[in-house]
Structure 1
Amino acid sequence: MPPWVGQNCWPEVGQINWPLTFAHALKAGAEVLDEQGGTDIYQLPPARLQIQQGLEQIRCLRLSEKGLYRWYAGCCNTPVGNSLAPRVPMIGLIHSFIVDPEREAKLGPVRACVNLRGATGQIPKSQLDAAPARGYVGKLMLKILVWKLSGQGRPNPLFSTKGKPLASPHILSPGEEL
């Protein structure tokens, strides 16, 4: 059974079938970021994410015109996840959005660490030894291809069938908070 997702004012609203700037803009650093300034992100195909209520609360921001789509709950600024584009069948669901008490056991160990240059603290050796990012990126690209070919890119709860974002993206200005 997939883990329940939700946080803050969004308890148990869906089911699964970022960098520092995003977390700080939402004033969600304490809930999302670890001691090193990073966060765990669970990669899944869009067809496995079902938002069962509160869809009207979903908001989107981007750090630039062509940057990632960064999704959050507008009612409480809870980060939800990231996506590249509607044609890329992958959503990076932020771990703190998953409120299943067995989250760690169900998701398993960290498989790769990326963007380590932005770390704000000492990275534990266990994370450094997890897997080389290059190898993981190759595996992830293969997964994305399989998801695309098997039709798991649709439905995508964050984009219309015509590829338009569910919420009009707000382009974040440097230093801006929501």
Structure 2
Amino acid sequence: MAETVQLQCACGEVKGQLKVVPGHFFHVHCLCCDCQQFANELGNADKILDKHGGSELFQTYPAYMDITQGKGNIACMQLHPKGLYRWYTSCCNMPLANTMTSGSVPFVGISVKLMQFADEQTRQDTLGPVTVKAFGKYAIGEMPQDAHERFPLSSMPKIIAFMVKGKFNKRHQPNPFFIDGVPVASAVTGLKG
């Protein structure tokens, strides 16, 4: 059964809701250098990353996410010319989500830091365990024992099936980051010049 999770940025200006539908998400821990660079660009690495430089992400369909307040504070960064769109709040420089550069792709990777839970047990019951800890070769310090050096190829069939199902069922829309296929904010290349 689907659950609704409240979303809120650090300063409370941006709020939203996320529908958590069993079987329609991946709970991942990403240690890649781009996620680390993004956190550093935002100037919030100490609040975003764990001790190994990892980001906790909830990958699901855009149709399940809704920004209900503070849409004018949605900003976008692209670290590389062909890289992901990395959405964040301009009010407190908090990561919102990662998407592809097209609104027609049924994928959004939402920062778990946005999610509001009554307690840790509710969080665990709603999100379940992290299923993939990837790109451990970029970890700060020693690579966690449960991390994969890169992205595990064994996960690819599940991701492809997820994307095909999402496209077939049109779960790429509505999309909080694209209106009629147009991004709600222009991508900048970084905040630190």
TM over 0.5: yes
- Distance (whole Å) between structure 2 residues aligned to residue 114 and residue 137 of structure 1: 12
Higher strand share: 2
After TM superposition, give the deviation of residue 103 of structure 1 in Å: 2.4
Alignment of 1:66-145 (within 5 A): 66-84=82-100, 85-100=102-117, 101=119, 102-125=122-145, 127-128=146-147, 133-145=152-164
Aligned with 2:6 (options 4, 7, 10): 4
1:78-103 Cα shifts (integer Å, max 9, x gaps): 11110013121100001111122332
Counterpart code for 2:7: V
Aligned with 1:48 (options 47, 64, 73): 64
**Is residue 30 of structure 2 the alignment partner of residue 14 of structure 1?**
no
Greater than 3 Å deviation, 4+ residue runs: none
Counterpart code for 1:83: T
Distance 1:122 1:92, change over 3 A: same
Q: State the SS of the aligned residue for 2:80.
A: coil
Identity value in percent: 30
- Distance (whole Å) between structure 1 residues aligned to residue 141 and residue 156 of structure 2: 24
After TM superposition, give the deviation of residue 177 of structure 1 in Å: 2.7
- Distance (whole Å) between structure 1 residues aligned to residue 97 and residue 47 of structure 2: 14
Equivalent in the alignment of 1:177: 192
Q: State the SS of the aligned residue for 1:113.
A: strand
- Distance (whole Å) between structure 1 residues aligned to residue 13 and residue 4 of structure 2: 15
After TM superposition, give the deviation of residue 9 of structure 1 in Å: 1.2
Counterpart code for 1:31: K
- Distance (whole Å) between structure 2 residues aligned to residue 157 and residue 7 of structure 1: 15
How many residues align? The count is 171
After TM superposition, give the deviation of residue 12 of structure 1 in Å: 7.6
Contact 2:65-2:176 at 8 Å conserved across structures: yes
**Is residue 167 of structure 2 the alignment partner of residue 148 of structure 1?**
yes
Under a length normalisation based on structure 1, what TM-score does the superposition of the two structures give? 0.88
- Which runs of 5 or more structure 1 residues have no equivalent in the other structure? none
Q: Report the aligned-residue RMSD.
A: 1.9
Counterpart code for 2:125: A
- Distance (whole Å) between structure 1 residues aligned to residue 160 and residue 13 of structure 2: 32
Q: State the SS of the aligned residue for 2:134.
A: coil
Q: State the SS of the aligned residue for 2:179.
A: coil
